Amino acid sequence: MKTSTIAEAKNNLSQLIHQLEVDEPIHLTRYGKPVAVMMSESQYKQLISPVKSLNSAILNWRSQLDELSNIALGDKELKVMRKDSSGREFSWDE
């Protein structure tokens, strides 16, 4: 994540806002320590939007993962990660 001091942000606010529209959030720092985060409106809406179901949350997470990295977790990769065991023993009786 990019960083900017509060003084730099104050002096270059319009430039930082343009960067946010096409790039990732920016940490604002005071005396070298992060104190706030600036993000685009679309990133903010995505952050606060309610998750409708577990499946949609997983699909959303996978799409973000694909966008943010070169790691693709497709069906082939997930199948390799899953174990072929029959599972564990379970009973409702104690």
Read off the amino acid at residue 93: D
Q: Do residues 3 and 26 lie in contact, with contact meaning Cβ atoms separated by under 8 Å? A: yes
Q: Does residue 15 form part of some domain? A: yes
**Residues 39 and 56 occupy one common structural domain:** no
Q: Which tens digits make up the pLDDT trace of 13-54?
A: 999 999 998 888 999 999 999 999 999 998 898 888 876 788
Give the global pTM.
0.51
How many folded domains does the chain comprise? 2
Name the maximum alpha-carbon separation found in the chain. Answer: 67
**Residues 45 and 62 occupy one common structural domain:** no
Residues spanned by the domain of 26: 1-49
Compute the distance between CA of residue 49 and CA of residue 44 in angstroms, rounded to an integer: 8
**Residues 27 and 56 occupy one common structural domain:** no
- 2-5 and 26-30 strand pairing: parallel
**Residues 14 and 58 occupy one common structural domain:** no
**Residues 75 and 54 occupy one common structural domain:** yes
Average of per-residue pLDDT across 1-21: 92
Q: Does residue 32 form part of some domain? A: yes
